[in-house]
Amino acid sequence: MKVGFVSLGCTKNLVVTEEVIEIFKKHDFEIVNDASQAEIILINTCGFIESAKQEAIDTILEMAEYKKRKCKYLIVIGCLVERYKEDLEKLIPEVDLFISIKEYGSLWEKIQNLIGKESKRDEKYNILDFENRVITTGENYAYLKIAEGCSNNCTYCAIPYIQGKYISRKKEDIINEAKELAKKGFKELVVIAQDTTKYGIDIYGRPALAELLQELCKIEGFKWIRFLYAYPETITDELIDVVKNNDKICKYFDMPIQHISNKVLKRMNRKSDKQSIENTISKIRKEIPNVILRTTLIVGFPGETKEDFDELYEFVKWAKFDKLGTFMYSKEDGTPAAKLKEQIHPMTKKSRYNKIMQLQKEISKKNLENKLGNTYECLIENASFDGKYYIGRTYMDVPDEDGVIFIKKEKEIPFGTFVNCKIVDVRDYDLIGEIEN
């Protein structure tokens, strides 16, 4: 039978999808990219915020239309199912099987019971396994998930209720997986977890990300190693030193801070305050002059006053983040923040969102203009539709998240090649470059 997959939400979700694809592949199913050709369609959903939930519902209904054609079975798994399984079963009868995260241990058993496929006897063929997955991100980079869940308990966030508490993987297992990825020829390793800087605290009694990164740097084959979702309160001097002193590690900190007003941070149950965040930013920039800083913010959190927002706005002016994403607060079922009475009007949220993003657009362009004339090592990954430009990335760009460099195509260069590229022009979030001979 032919199977098609849709993976929604974050990169951590994508890793799970890749594991599920591998199980189907081991049981001799044909994997297809065209939903119209699939006899089985499996959707891995996100249920983090309202917009993600709506996207998941829309996608399920869209894929359900294929049951009128070739599709025989529609299977839905993931975060949305973990939160709302009973409701979904009633509301969307077109779906043949819903599997929640807590049921992943028997995922294949449930699927085979549905489709009548005999299972292979060896248990390793029937379970989700980090080291056995089909990488779906192309030939250049792969994600390495080092932990599950989250124990930060931010008051706006449903992830601890969906994914459970933070559980680190053993360092030995992570290293073995990374070695296998290196053998397969991936040039970039992207280390992920809900909070990478908490890695190791639960099993080793201390933050162990710095130590893990040093071990990963010893593996031959990777050109770039980067880590995402580094919470500011656990960015240690040791971690900064490891990033500074290892050539393989991209000089890039993805540091979600969400807000800067101490009052709002406290209501969010964040573990850092304004002074410590500013100190961390200053320290990183002092130690690593060419570092790229990325963050995410939430505007319109319950009780956020005009003064709180103005403080955030001025902070963004001061910090001059290279990359910045903003979310409008989403009231999520079961979270403490959803019960707060001082909910912000949607129009106010939208206005504050627009102000921050307009400011960041100006900051981003100035930051990029400062790179004019500089030369960077660039990974060629694709070409523009008109064929006039190659599309590449430097250490400054997370795949599928950040901007790119458009490089004038003057000669044929295979995708996956590293070249030296001089920056000759800028756009709001992207760069224009020329290959240096």
Class of domain 375-435: mainly beta
Q: How far apart are CA 88 and CA 28, in angstroms?
A: 30
Give the lowest-confidence range in 37-51, 227-241, 245-259, 303-317: 37-51
Helix (H, G, I), strand (E, B) or coil at 281: helix
Check residue 218 and give its pLDDT.
Answer: 97
pLDDT at 121 over 80: no
- Enumerate the CATH 3.80.30.20 domain ranges in the chain, comma separated: 141-369
Helix 171-183 to helix 209-217 angle (10° resolution) is: 30
pLDDT at 118 over 70: no
Split at pLDDT 50, 70, 90, the class of 123 is low
Check residue 17 and give its pLDDT.
Answer: 95
Gyration radius of the chain over CA positions: 22
pLDDT at 187 over 70: yes
**CB-based contacts of 175, cutoff 8 Å, min separation 6:** 215, 216, 219
Residue type, 211: E
User: Can you list the alpha helix ranges (DSSP code H) found in 166-250?
Assistant: 171-183, 201-204, 209-217, 237-245
pLDDT at 47 over 90: no
Check residue 234 and give its pLDDT.
Answer: 94
Residue with tokens 């044929």: 412
* CA dist list (Å): 184 to 155, 180, 417: 41, 6, 16
Q: How far apart are CA 253 and CA 244, in angstroms?
A: 11
Task: List the one residue out of 380, 404, 392, 379 whose CA is nearest residue 223.
Answer: 379
Residue 44 DSSP label:
E
Element (H or E) spanning 389, and its range? strand 389-393
Structure tokens at 276: 């410590």
Is the four-CA dihedral 329, 280, 212, 181 of positive or negative sign? Answer: positive
- Enumerate the CATH 3.40.50.12160 domain ranges in the chain, comma separated: 2-125
Give the lowest-confidence range in 108-117, 223-232, 267-276, 328-337: 108-117
Task: List the one residue out of 125, 13, 4 whose CA is nearest residue 75.
Answer: 4
The strand pairing partners of 226, in sequence order, are 190
Check residue 49 and give its pLDDT.
Answer: 83
Q: Which overall architecture, per CATH, does domain 2-125 show? A: 3-Layer(aba) Sandwich (3.40)
Residue 421, phi then psi, degrees to nearest 5: -130, 125
Check residue 116 and give its pLDDT.
Answer: 83
Q: What is the pTM of this model?
A: 0.93
- Enumerate the CATH 2.40.50.140 domain ranges in the chain, comma separated: 375-435
Cβ proximity of 225 and 250 under 8 Å: yes
Q: pLDDT (tens digit, 9 = 90+) per residue, 401-424?
A: 999 999 998 889 999 999 999 999
Mean pLDDT of the chain: 94
Q: pLDDT above 70 covers what percent of the chain?
A: 98
pLDDT at 96 over 90: yes
In CATH terms, the fold of domain 141-369 is pyruvate-formate lyase- activating enzyme (3.80.30)
